[in-house]
């Protein structure tokens, strides 16, 4: 069975954005702080609502303007990997921060950078390890010389 890929044009993008902004506007409306007034008599929810209201207004234009059927280049044939690989990269980045706080900057960075360099296309794991070690040491040296505190862990 052939699965037809759907391209995401500006109109669909506009709809997604409107849904997102309306959801946020509902969050503001339902918050207990939204109608509380500051001493200048302005409600706390007024400016967040202005930002969201303008966003909804312009997203509506995205549905009807003459570019509405245009498709952004990277969304012509959207690949699922375009969405989960970046998400994966974000999660790994967060884990890296926790990792260097736990194990220490140099060892943590070498352990995290080596597979990253290798997965992104380096031909040999040995070269990736050497590159990762060099990068980690150079950054450690620069930051230490500048007196900037790096995360400290169990090891170095």
Partner 1 sequence: MEMFYPEAFQQALSMVLTPTLFYWLAIGIFLGVGVGAMPGMSAATGIALMLPLSFFLDTAPALGLLMGLYKGAVYGGSIAAITFATPGTPGAAATTYDGYELTKQGKGRKALEMALYASITGDTLSDILTIFLAPALAIIALTFGPAERFLVAVMAFVLIGALGGKHPIKGLISASMGIFLATIGSDPVSLSPRMTFGFWWLRDGIGLIPMLIGIFAMSKMIEEVGLIAVMKKGMEKTKGAVDRITSTGPGLTIKEYLSCWKEMLIGTSIGSFAGMLPGLGATVGAFLSYSVAKQISPNRDKIGYGALEGVAAAEAGNNATVGPTLIPLLAFGIPGSASAALIGGGLALQGATPSPRMFELFPHIVYALFMILLLGNVFNLVIGRLVSRFYARLGLLPKNILVPLIMMMAIIGTYASRSNRYDVAVMLIIGLLGYCMRIAEIPSAPMVISFLLAPLMETSIRRALMISRGDWAQAFSSPLSIGLIVATVVLGFVSIWFQRKQMIG
* Residues lying near partner 1 in the complex (CB under 8 A): 10, 13, 17, 24, 27-28, 31, 33-34, 36, 38-42, 44-45, 47-48, 50-52, 54-55, 57-59, 61-62, 65, 67, 70, 72-75, 79, 81-82, 85-87, 89-90, 93-94, 96-98, 101, 109, 112-113, 116-117, 120-122, 131, 135, 139, 143, 146-151
Q: How far is the CB of 106 from partner 1 (least distance, A)?
A: 12
Distance CA 111, CA 100 (A): 10
Write phi, then psi, for 2 (nearest 5 degrees).
-95, 125
The nearer residue to partner 1, 107 or 122, going by C-beta atoms, is: 122
Q: Which of 82, 154 has the CB closer to partner 1?
A: 82
Label residues 27-51 b or e (16+ Cβ within 10 Å = b): ebeeeeeeeeeeeeeeebbeebbee
Phi, psi of 154 (to 5 degrees): -65, -45
């Amino acid at each position: 069975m052939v699965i037809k890929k759907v391209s995401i044009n500006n109109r669909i993008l506009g709809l997604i954005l409107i849904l997102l902004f309306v959801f946020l506007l509902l969050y503001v409306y339902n918050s207990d702080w939204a109608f509380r007034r500051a001493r200048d008599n302005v409600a706390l929810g007024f400016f967040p609502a202005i930002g969201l209201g303008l966003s909804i207004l312009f997203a509506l234009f995205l549905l009807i303007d003459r570019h509405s059927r245009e498709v952004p280049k990277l969304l012509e044939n959207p690949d699922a990997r375009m969405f989960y690989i970046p998400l994966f990269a974000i999660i790994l980045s967060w884990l890296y921060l926790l990792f260097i706080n736990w194990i220490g900057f140099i060892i943590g960075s070498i352990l995290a950078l080596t597979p990253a360099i290798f997965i992104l296309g380096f031909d040999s794991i040995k070269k990736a390890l050497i590159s990762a070690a060099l990068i980690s040491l150079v950054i450690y040296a620069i930051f230490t010389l500048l007196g900037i505190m790096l995360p400290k862990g169990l090891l170095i």
